[in-house]
């Protein structure tokens, strides 16, 4: 692409990839050609489909400039692994395109370590990339594989399906609110909440276990109610959700009811799975949860849309209606 | 990801994709699920490998802020198609992640048109994406397929191979130099050169025709000599190149010898193919060029490395040695 003049750093593009990302790169069963050619070459498992997702992270918007780079490396890959998890796909590899104001070895080294540690854990190697100079921006594209008929699509929810959520929701938003000064937390509580914000764990193993068990699924990244809304819209369904059943941590449960609801229902950055499954699957799903040590909670039921086409009907544990006026996050709203 | 507060535009993330990129999106033979789920689903041709490349384009670095957005849409996809071409891969689809300061419909509309026109031409649909707010940044990841044994890799050049170049080199760099004030061109000449800079044509059809004919290949994006150096390094070979044989347009051939050599040998942004093939393939390659209406030119020969491990030996048409002191472009040098 068009070169504009600049010359400040002794570290070349190729050396940068070699030096910092070599340990996230390897050729193997599915990667027949890695970094260093015009393209990487991947051999997907025969008969399976390729699941692809891309996410762009911008400094000041998706992460703070002073975030721990090791945590950012982890999270950059985690949010993409979470998209594979939500599809029931097995990770195959990923590309990383990165813009930095300069070559920043002191920042890149821990960033690459955080990224590589998670890549190793899910056998998901870095297969290609691009490095350039510019305002800090990270773009990961990830590839997984899934038998086509078992993919957990958003458009597959059926009337009568249970709605499930993994883990607990809202701690990341609780941390963000404290950082922003919307509310206060003790140092210990903030450190606890901040772990959820900075080190989300993608639910890859759960997604794989739910193949053939759940019908529809997605990952909760922009807030439960907004994300569930995508399933309802794509499946042309409505849902009844008991907001008091939405799982929250002991830390969040100790906050005011208003903070609890805002964080758990519309918080964002949770990276848990929300999935729909027939009621006959309840014992199987509870067994999966026990086996994996992952909390799974039923929070509501899918139904055909009513005459007024209201998608989401919220109520509390007393059965009283709750207004669905929580906004999920939209980058251009 | 972490929402930071902002609220300036009436256009939502989903509406933005629907409105501007719908015509670049379609499900078809190889795309079983497009935009709107956690992942896209692709079904690659049975028995073939998946070729993957990613490129990040930053405003002010890879393109000027005032560039025609239609041309930029074209070029954003063209540079990625060019990577598939260089691998001999057939396009299957691509993802686009985009950061913009605001939703900019007046800019996005022609950008998406330029992108979609090229996507249509190569049957390469948009299968997924991400939109966010931030300094303008475009990241395309592209997928193609190629029978593994026919992939045009950089590490496959053999002693005695001819070195070939498609089209002509240097016009994009000639335009850039005029825009930067390094030299002057008449308005008519600048418009001609600028077409090469703004509307590069990826050599996808040539790449496909060279399967089983050429051994090593890459696309000339950072300057011929630097790019050829990648083949030499990955193949552990050296090369003799006649710099006067490097093909250039009539426009470039009318410039001073110094400008000609700088632009043709180290210019960048050409997106032609440089490829190596056994000399027995000459008639076949010339026939391919004639059939496709693409100029193909032999510029040199691959050899085993000499004792001094000099990779690149340049000479002119008189046989006199030429110093190989042209630098190719590196984003972090």
Question: Are both B192 and B300 inside the same structural domain?
Answer: yes
Choosing from A95, A124, A149, the residue where a domain stops is A149
Q: What is the pLDDT, as a whole number, of residue B30?
A: 81
Question: Are both A186 and A311 inside the same structural domain?
Answer: yes
Quick check: is B239 in a domain?
Answer: yes
Q: Output the CA torsion sign for B190, B195, B198, B201.
A: negative
- ipTM for this model: 0.85
pLDDT above 60: residue A28 = yes
Question: Are both B237 and B104 inside the same structural domain?
Answer: no
CATH number of the domain within which B121 lies: 3.30.1330.10
Task: Give the confidence band of A327 by pLDDT, cuts at 50, 70, 90.
Answer: low
Question: Are both B130 and B196 inside the same structural domain?
Answer: no
Question: Are both A127 and A256 inside the same structural domain?
Answer: no
Q: State pLDDT tens for residues B118-130.
A: 999 999 999 888 8
Choosing from A125, A149, A173, the residue where a domain stops is A149
Task: Give the confidence band of A214 by pLDDT, cuts at 50, 70, 90.
Answer: very high
pLDDT above 70: residue B26 = no
Q: Find chain B residues with C-beta within 8 A of A268's C-beta.
A: 1-3
Rounded to the nearest angstrom, the minimum Cα separation between A220 and chain B is 10
d(CA B169, CA B324): 17
Q: State pLDDT tens for residues A278-291.
A: 999 999 999 999 99
Residue range A217-223: mean pLDDT, rounded = 93
Q: What is the pLDDT, as a whole number, of residue B13?
A: 57
Quick check: is A211 in a domain?
Answer: yes
Choosing from A149, A169, A200, the residue where a domain stops is A149
B318 touches chain A (CB under 8 A): no
Decide: B167 and B203 in contact? Cβ < 8 Å: yes
User: Is B162 annotated as a binding-site member?
Assistant: no
Beta strands B216-220; B137-146: pairing state: unpaired
CATH number of the domain within which B274 lies: 3.90.650.10
Quick check: is A62 in a domain?
Answer: yes
Using alpha carbons only, give the angle A67, A73, A78 rounded to the nearest 5 degrees. 110
Distance (Å) of CA A254 to CA A196, A250, A261, B88: 16, 6, 12, 59
Question: Are both A165 and A126 inside the same structural domain?
Answer: no
Beta sheet of A272-277, edge-to-edge order: A216-220, A272-277, A162-166, A296-303, A238-242, A312-315, A321-322
Quick check: is B7 in a domain?
Answer: no
User: Is B212 annotated as a binding-site member?
Assistant: no
Q: Which DSSP symbol is given to B233?
A: H
Name the domain count of chain B. 2
Alpha helices (runs of H) in chain B, residue ranges in sequence order: 13-21, 69-87, 105-121, 171-180, 187-198, 204-209, 224-235, 250-253, 257-266, 282-292
- Residues making up chain A, counted from first to last: 333
Q: State pLDDT tens for residues A138-192.
A: 999 999 999 988 999 999 999 999 999 999 999 999 999 999 999 999 999 999 9
| Cβ neighbour number for residue A32 with a 10 Å cutoff | 16
d(CA B4, CA A114): 23
Question: Are both B122 and B208 inside the same structural domain?
Answer: no
Q: Across the interface, do B234 and A36 touch by the CB < 8 Å criterion?
A: yes
Quick check: is A65 in a domain?
Answer: yes
H/E run at residue A164: strand A162-166
Alpha helices (runs of H) in B11-95, residue ranges in sequence order: 13-21, 69-87
Quick check: is A191 in a domain?
Answer: yes
Question: Are both B231 and B307 inside the same structural domain?
Answer: yes
Q: Across the interface, do B155 and A41 touch by the CB < 8 Å criterion?
A: no
Quick check: is A142 in a domain?
Answer: yes
Q: What is the pLDDT, as a whole number, of residue B16?
A: 66
Picking from A97, A156, A148, A168, the residue whose alpha carbon sits closest to that of residue A278 is A156
Mark which residues 93-122 of B lie under 8 Å from A by CB. 95-99, 102-103
Using alpha carbons only, give the angle B315, B320, B321 rounded to the nearest 5 degrees. 55
d(CA A253, CA A268): 17
Quick check: is A307 in a domain?
Answer: yes
Which of A36, A42, A97 comes nearest B55 by C-beta? Answer: A97
Which of A4, A36, A172 comes nearest B60 by C-beta? Answer: A4
DSSP reduced 3-state for A110: helix
Question: Are both B113 and B178 inside the same structural domain?
Answer: no
Question: Are both B119 and B243 inside the same structural domain?
Answer: no
Mark which residues 143-162 of B lie under 8 Å from A by CB. 143-144, 146, 148, 151, 153-155
Structural domain span for residue A28 = 13-149
Residue B181 CB-density burial (10 A; 0-12 exposed, 13-18 middle, 19+ buried): exposed
d(CA A92, CA A86): 15
Mark which residues 245-264 of B lie under 8 Å from A by CB. none
Q: Find chain A residues with C-beta within 8 A of B33's C-beta.
A: 151, 153
Question: Are both B65 and B156 inside the same structural domain?
Answer: no
pLDDT above 60: residue A317 = yes
Question: Are both A132 and A191 inside the same structural domain?
Answer: no
Q: What is the pLDDT, as a whole number, of residue A262?
A: 92
B31 strand-pairing partners? B42
The chain B residue lying nearest A34, using CA atoms, is B52
Q: What is the pLDDT, as a whole number, of residue B24?
A: 65
């Amino acid at each position: 692409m068009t070169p504009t003049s600049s010359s400040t750093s002794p570290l070349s593009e190729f050396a940068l990839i070699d030096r910092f990302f070599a340990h996230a790169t390897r050729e193997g069963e599915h990667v027949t050609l890695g970094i260093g050619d015009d393209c990487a070459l991947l051999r997907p498992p025969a008969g399976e489909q390729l699941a692809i997702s891309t996410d762009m992270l911008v400094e000041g918007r998706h992460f703070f400039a002073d975030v721990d780079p090791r945590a950012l490396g982890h999270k950059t890959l985690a949010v993409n692994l979470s998209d594979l998890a939500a599809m029931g796909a097995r990770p195959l590899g990923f590309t990383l395109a990165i813009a930095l104001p300069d070559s920043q070895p002191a920042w890149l080294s821990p960033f690459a370590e955080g990224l590589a540690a998670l890549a190793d854990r899910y056998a998901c190697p870095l297969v290609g990339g691009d490095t350039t100079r510019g305002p800090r921006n990270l773009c990961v594209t990830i590839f997984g594989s899934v038998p086509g008929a078992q993919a957990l699509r958003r458009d597959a929810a059926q009337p009568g399906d249970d709605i499930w959520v993994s883990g607990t929701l809202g701690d990341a938003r609780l941390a963000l609110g404290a950082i922003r000064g919307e509310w206060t937390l003790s140092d210990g509580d903030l450190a606890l909440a901040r772990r959820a914000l900075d080190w989300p764990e993608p639910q890859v193993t759960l997604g794989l276990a739910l193949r053939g068990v759940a019908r529809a699924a997605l990952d909760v990244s922009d807030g439960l109610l907004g994300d569930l809304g995508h399933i309802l819209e794509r499946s042309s369904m409505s849902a009844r959700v008991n907001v008091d059943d939405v799982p929250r941590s002991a830390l969040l449960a100790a906050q005011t009811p208003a903070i609890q609801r805002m964080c758990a229902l519309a918080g964002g950055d949770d990276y848990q799975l929300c999935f729909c499954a027939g009621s006959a699957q309840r014992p199987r799903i509870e067994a999966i949860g026990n086996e994996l040590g992952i909390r799974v909670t039923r929070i509501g039921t899918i139904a055909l849309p009513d005459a007024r086409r209201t998608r989401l009907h919220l109520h509390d544990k007393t059965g009283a209606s709750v207004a669905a006026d929580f906004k999920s996050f939209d980058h251009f709203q």
